[in-house]
Chains A and B, each alone.
Chain A
């Protein structure tokens, strides 16, 4: 595995780079809107001033200016919000597309380990989480910076004494608020932890309700849930205790209105300031606190958004599966598979999962991989399609190292039937035809017949056109599996990797499934991970794995005679098969 370069997580601003221009534009618009609003207020003061000078006359110029600036501020503000919203939508699309493309290039093992649900969550929820910040907060940011600067400049021009006083009042308010925020920093951590625990406890409680009920004696199980709730309450109450006072004081003290009124009235009454100036100061200055308040809540939002950005980035930073360039890519000669001294570990510093595995599967033969759970047999099967790349040694398909083939070529050699069947929300026919758009309906039906699923499909109202999935028909596990087998039959690839299902839906399905598999395997090079040993008695070779190493190798009779790991597994198997519940009277 290649070394993963851990690039530092980009900040909220740099993840917006693809739509940077538009965001900047939106912020400029929002900033201009703020300036226009301040202009409106000045125009209103001017109008009053005119009225004071000439009481009987309409102060037309200032009124007109006020109207124009109001409209301008309004239009600019809307335009800004519109731009930031569109930019946010565009960013979402862009990030999702990037993520989807990137996932298609990553090793399958990464998808497997991370889990499709978690990845889908990143693509959907984490990307969505950016929206509030990008769309709603960027204009607020612009305002929160432009408004105080412009206001202060205005106040300074109008009356430096009042400007300074306002600044002092605000400084005290902000100081208190940041005091509240600082105590919050580690509290936030504890709060989130407690709140996460509550969510977990709730999910556990609801999901495990059938189990909870069976052991419900009225106390014990419910206590786990209650404990999480109690911890949460304690943390929250503690938070209120330590941060409550300063944040409440900050709310009250941040407003400069009382000071401006007192000081202004005093100055005006001693003729040290004109009434118009005072009026302008009051109109402009009292808005200062309100434009600053969003900054505090924004800080919170940025921290939250950062978590989503981190997860998005983590996926994007994952290195691609290395592929050979077109010129050097090679094509396999036949349908044989060969492992040469293969070592494998999941991460560079992890323990060896497979150690020095060497074997050969000739074209057209059947090889079974057996061993206790955790022995590494499924890993062996998954290394062939390059879920991961080997740590040492090599895997060859048709004499060519799998890493030297183009992924498409490799995939065209190998068909897989895994335990976890996956069908797309599409028609049954398209699910069988997946990847082979050229296949005719006859070919699809033949494959379905061979997979023992044709009769069932014909009982459905829409036959092969029946949609699978949410609004489609409900399929049992066995039926789904046979549809995937039909897919593999249609693909008709020379090498077949089977991970045998351990639990079949019900007896009748099981027989059909078995017949379907027989069809699929005919004439193929087969590697099958087997759990039920009776199925592999006739395999050409059986590879017995234990603790990551290849322990034994041979045919059934040979291995039973050897009296080693396989013989033990076989005895266990026979014993399990013969088990019958004796019941209460035994």
Chain B
């Protein structure tokens, strides 16, 4: 998610400052007292700075129009003292940043978010979009928090300093003091009040940006196709229209978004001018010392700068507010509930009992009334069209989410009563897409069992038929995956992941189409590796090529979230149902060959 989007979202509802403060303290955890002291310190520093500036008033009185050094000197000293105090207090308060407290705090927050990510139902992360969002959350959001002090300092100078000056001015001339008190501090509430308009402008921009972004991606992705279809020009025109549209929206958005800033700037200029005019009026009337007016002018013309900077950085306040909200939302997600007492399964028979499940996002049930029994050391195959719910079955077993009805047991123990680490240790998975970490091959395999010796890793690699090709790599087992990234073929990567699973030595193995994306040569090696992995295990396999699972102890045919058939290959063929249909379609496709293209009669098989 891009930054403007954060801004737009944050701007849509403005959190009251008090709520922001509360969340901030919550995020600071053990350092909350220090942070609070630090923030208060910044305010105090700003107030003292205001008082230092206010010293200009008596100082000017002492020197204008008739200079008297003896009267001026004490005020000079006071002013310098206050300025020194400002520097010292601010120095101390900023220590929260400079001493590294803030860095350590965001660090802890990040670690905690990482831990949380490990505990929340995986279902929440499986959605690709959400995955991306969470990555940005972890990566950037807490970084945003590190601006807290900078922004707080700016807010204090923009807000507290004018108030302190105004209060001091009350003592010299209550009318001007009151005027100052009314105009300058009011600017910030005014700005916050007008900010939704800014958000609206931002939102338009975000939408136009997203559209242009999608069009650009489509263009770059589709270029080969466009070139092949000889219509690059036409599409390029469409893209240009979209880019041009973005410019128009940017221009409009700029006008809209700039409005609050414009109002603020106008009011600020008016405020300064009003002080000038009202002050002059009093002086002309003879009710105000001209020295006071002169001093106030010197002070007031400096108020503009911090306020203007404040407006520029107000975006960061939005970011901090939304960051705090998101961190909180993330930490509030409840981990899957652990049933007590915690039990440890003694055998590894898997049972699905009346399992029903629907994803939080989807309306209808993904799985309903699934009943199955997977005996120890049996081979169970899940087959069915894509989207039928096969993968969900395996995910529920791994507890990426919990079923809404029914239960899943391992060795008679409900998976919800097994400790998460224990459950993880019971199941090995080989996915179609292999994820290798940017680390050495050794580390990638050893990940399965951190205490495994080098010999054990090598033994697993041999069993998975990957020792030979690993030995041929420039640095053998110490080769970093990232360094040779593209040079590992799909089959080699898959064998590494199988070695990982072999080393893990879990009693239950899930195979999720491990050979689907491989070429023939790799396939033979991977098949051999799988044979080594599944020996003496309870195996669940998802397969599209039915011939590979024809020997399974039981085949569960799943369609539309229901088990429509189950049994062994021969039984299912004989019953002439869904499975038999799929089998026939596949056999005929298998027998297809290029020569057939020339004899149209042979197409009859597809009808």
Contacts and interface: CB of A to CB of B under 8 A. Distances in A.
Contacts of B431: 210-211
B445 to A, nearest CB: 10
A218 B114 CA distance: 12
B290 A539 contact: no
Nearest to A217: B421
Interface in A293-325: none
A265 interface: yes
Contacts of A226: 111, 114
A491 interface: yes
B220 A581 contact: no
Which of B234, B243, B549 counts the most A-chain CB atoms under 10 A from its CB?
Answer: B243
Given A236-B103, A373-B521, A202 B534 contact: no
A100 B470 CA distance: 42
Interface residues of B, number: 173
B455 interface: no
Contact of A52 (B56, B64, B232, B524): B64
Contacts of A271: 67
Interface stretch (A24-32, A151-159, A336-344, A529-537): A529-537
Given A202-B135, A503-B516, A532-B520, A210 B231 contact: no
Given A217-B450, A218-B421, A422-B222, A408 B489 contact: no
B363 interface: no
Interface string A205-232: 1111111111111111110111001101
A528 interface: yes
A239 B265 CA distance: 37
A510 B586 contact: yes
Contacts of B518: 502
A435 B236 contact: no
Which of A52, A415, A519, A536 counts the most B-chain CB atoms under 10 A from its CB?
Answer: A52
A123 B437 CA distance: 29
B424 A216 contact: yes
Interface stretch (B72-80, B164-172, B352-360): B72-80
A531 B491 CA distance: 14
A582 B530 CA distance: 10
Interface in B45-87: 56, 59, 63-65, 67-69, 72, 76, 79-80, 83, 87
Nearest to B500: A215
B600 A104 contact: no
Interface stretch (A55-63, A164-172, A182-190, A354-362): A55-63
A576 B448 contact: no
B593 A534 contact: yes
Interface string A499-540: 000111111101111110111111000101011111111110
Interface string A273-298: 00100110011001100100000000
B548 A222 contact: no
Contact of A507 (B377, B387, B546): B546
A511 B606 contact: yes
A287 B605 contact: no
B231 A103 contact: no
B42 interface: no
Contact of B227 (A52, A108, A119, A224): A108
B386 interface: yes
Contacts of B522: 373
Interface stretch (B94-102, B190-198, B406-414): B94-102
A140 to B, nearest CB: 10
B276 A55 contact: no
Interface in B6-61: 56, 59
Contact of B527 (A517, A526, A528, A579): A579
Contacts of A333: none
A279 B537 CA distance: 90
B293 A48 contact: yes
B515 to A, nearest CB: 8
Contact of B520 (A104, A257, A286, A569): A569
Contact of A237 (B72, B100, B244, B597): B100
A76 B594 CA distance: 74
A176 interface: no
Interface string B377-401: 1110100111100000000001010
Contacts of B277: 63
B266 to A, nearest CB: 8
Contact of B247 (A59, A90, A573, A575): A90
A283 B293 contact: no
B301 interface: yes
B209 interface: yes
B564 to A, nearest CB: 14
A411 B377 CA distance: 56
A502 B516 CA distance: 8
Contacts, number: 458
A179 interface: no
A271 B63 CA distance: 10
Contacts of A222: 114-115, 118
Nearest to B225: A422
B450 A526 contact: no
B110 to A, nearest CB: 6
A63 B212 CA distance: 50
Contact of B265 (A74, A385, A415, A575): A74
A382 B530 CA distance: 34
Interface string A527-561: 01011111111110000000000000000000000
A505 B585 CA distance: 13
B269 A212 contact: no
Contact of B262 (A78, A530, A535): A78
B258 to A, nearest CB: 8
B594 A535 contact: yes
B76 A128 contact: no
B541 interface: yes
Interface in A49-80: 51-52, 55-59, 63, 66-67, 70, 74, 78
Nearest to B239: A100
A572 B491 CA distance: 14
Contacts of B223: 103-104, 108, 111, 116
A374 B240 CA distance: 39
Contacts of B583: 507
A505 B386 contact: yes
Which of B100, B297, B589, B606 counts the most A-chain CB atoms under 10 A from its CB?
Answer: B589
Contacts of A119: 220
A44 interface: yes
A193 interface: no
A368 interface: yes
A504 B64 contact: no
Contacts of B246: 92-93
B60 to A, nearest CB: 8
A518 B222 contact: no
Nearest to A104: B232
B305 A287 contact: yes
A474 to B, nearest CB: 9
Nearest to A533: B520
A539 B63 CA distance: 105
B365 interface: no
Contact of A240 (B100, B243, B500, B538): B100
A218 B216 CA distance: 42
B231 A435 contact: yes
A363 to B, nearest CB: 14
A437 B229 CA distance: 11
Interface string B198-227: 000000000001001110111111111111
A117 B79 CA distance: 59
Given A221-B447, A577-B547, 14 more contacts: A55-B283, A96-B243, A104-B232, A111-B223, A203-B135, A214-B429, A216-B424, A258-B83, A286-B302, A511-B586, A515-B603, A569-B520, A572-B523, A583-B534
For the complex of A and B, the 5 pairs showing the least CB-CB separation, nearest first, are: A538-B595, A583-B379, A435-B229, A584-B377, A521-B597
14 contacts: A92-B246, A202-B139, A206-B135, A261-B79, A275-B65, A290-B302, A372-B521, A502-B516, A507-B585, A537-B595, A572-B523, A583-B377, A584-B379, A584-B536
